[in-house]
Structure 1
Amino acid sequence: MPVPTAGLPARVRIHEVGARDGLQNEKTTVPTEVKAEFIHRLAQAGLTTIEATSFVHPDWVPQLADAERLFPLVSDLEGVHLPVLVPNNRGLDRALALGARRLAVFASATETFAKANLNRTLEESLAVFEPVVTRAKDEHAHVRGYVSMCFGDPWEGAVPVHQVVHVCKALLDMGCDELSLGDTIGVGTPGHVRALLAALNESGVPTDVIGVHFHDTYGQALANTFAALEHGVTTVDASAGGLGGCPYAKSATGNLATEDLVWMLRGLGIDTGIDLGRLVATSEWMAGQLGRPSPSRTVRALSHQEQ
């Protein structure tokens, strides 16, 4: 492994979202047993944080209607955190009943997306999350606060940095342990990433509670990740095989592929604890289950070498 690059973290924790964010928009229902096998294979590849599912109403996200059946099939994985999304108190009840103790709420940095996705104003959505986060913390759970549309919104355009900072601080003030800054439509650039991270620090948000979640719509996901690493961020969201996309941007190529991220980090001498060969094999297997090739460049490159 190369010598760690000066000024960059020695280790990065990858927050794997393929089983939840990656599969949630699949039109064909993926069998619960396949999802469970996917999560087990990801764990065997060395991933220690694997987002499992979302306890939303089945009508909202039909693909994740099997949350109650799936979670018990994976909850026995040792040394693996299995975060789940909880949109409201009912979702929290369902998650806690199954023993979930890594939870996440999903906020928006823009009014328009809050209304489109949550059917509430931005402030109303934050008000809904506050009792959810409070109850979760009372149950000694770890809570992650997702913030979508941090860099751009398909209706509002570029999102002012101060607006994102406001939402992030509100989530931390209500008790969230960690933030995930989402470039939901993939329009962010390294300069924008640096500006947002600096503004968050200036407002009192420490770097060690920040994770980043980039989409590769404009081919900027790895460049944006590198900018975040230079700033000291050590948590990066990614999706095995590049699963998932953004329904709000027709040209979106989806989530940053975990394999592409690991390839870059390995070249920088940054430890992830992930076996890239096993991860590629897992994504190839999942692509076979879905009936289409993986969009990950690294998966395609390494698969081609083996043929």
Structure 2
Amino acid sequence: MTARPKEPIAYRLAPWIAAALALFVVARVLGPVVEDSDASAVHGAPRTLRLGAAASLSDVMEEAVARWNEATGDEVEVVTGASSTLARQIQNGAPYDVFVSANAAWMETLVAERLAGAADVSVIAENRLVVITRLARGEALGDRAQPFDRSLFTDAFPKARWALGDPAHVPAGMYAKEALVALGAWEALEPRVVPASDVRAALRLVERGEVEFGIVYRTDAAQSARVTVVADVPSDQHTKAGVLVGRIRDSQPGAELLLAWLRGPTVRALLESRGFGVDDL
């Protein structure tokens, strides 16, 4: 079994620094905005902010943004995709104001390239990986929960195809590969892996029956009525699947308010309601 990867920098930030920053922004800036019934009087003319969000966050971010728009009068355009794709767009000059990533390494790359400030980045949630199959196949398996061991990928289903987010760059696929390598199953499984452009694309492959199994986030599996969970992927076998939010350099006025909103209790409750872990971050 391989050693657990080193934790990203964001997990090692002093908690009181993040708390102090959030309290300052909310108390001094966001509070007057959300309490004023005429948001445009505070902000000036309404503006459109641009939020890039990992595909696994699309549902919760759309709901969070709808509440933000209602509270402030500002519009936020949500663009979803693989964290890697969005990060590369930012590197190439795409005009995002805030980025929500499902991978710490991509966020740290932006910080290292001075495209985002370290003080403006924080972990707001965590996710878990699960093995899924189409509902009909799951019913055939009955109540027999499958252990996450090498036999699941070799002996039990030796010819089954597996959908993963592309392990070359999609966070969910990268984490899945780490767990499979640690298990000693990656070499046998790799020829049967169907790489997808993002984790939601991997989910759709399983839903449509184009592959027999997949590894996706628990939150993605929960929102589908056409798949069932076969096994849980132990979280100590891969890098933490953290959800990070950060403000992009040269962002528009108002981006710091949106950042504070995404770090705050409303979005935290939304994340928790969708199955994300929000405790002990």
TM-score w.r.t. length of structure 2: 0.28
Larger fraction in strand = 2
TM-score w.r.t. length of structure 1: 0.27
Max radius of gyration: which structure? 2
Higher relative contact order (CA 8 A, sep 6+): 2
